[in-house]
Amino acid sequence: DQSAGLAYVMTNIENDLIRVNLADGTSTLLIDNVFNKTNSAKDMVYSEETGIIYVVGGQKFRQQLIAIDAKSGDKVVISSSSF
């Protein structure tokens, strides 16, 4: 988020979403374990226009698309597929 001087980072193993203040380097845990421990995040995109972070992840046969409010950390599953 360039206008707010923030970056959002997803940790590899724990799937935690972290907010980093680019001015001073402080970090804040936004969400602990976005996906359960058996799934992993594959990619994320931040919409500065809406303040929503979209995260996609899962396993080979089960995928989810999750929307996360960057301010509150509230999340909702937008799509889930199994095949």
- Reply yes or no on whether the pLDDT at 76 is more than 90: yes
Tokens, residue 14: 């724990």
pLDDT in tens, 46-64: 999 999 999 988 877 788 8
**Model confidence, pTM:** 0.84
Confidence at residue 33, expressed as pLDDT on a 0 to 100 scale? 84
**Cα–Cα distance for residue pair 44/68, rounded to 1 Å:** 10
- Please report, to the nearest 10 degrees, the dihedral formed by the alpha carbons of residues 28, 34, 36, 39 taken in order: -120
pLDDT in tens, 1-42: 888 899 999 887 778 899 999 999 999 999 888 876 666 788
Confidence at residue 35, expressed as pLDDT on a 0 to 100 scale? 79
Q: What is the DSSP string of 10-74?
A: E-TTT--EEEEETTT--EEEEES-SS-TT-EEEEEEEETTTTEEEEEEEETTEEEEEEEETTT--
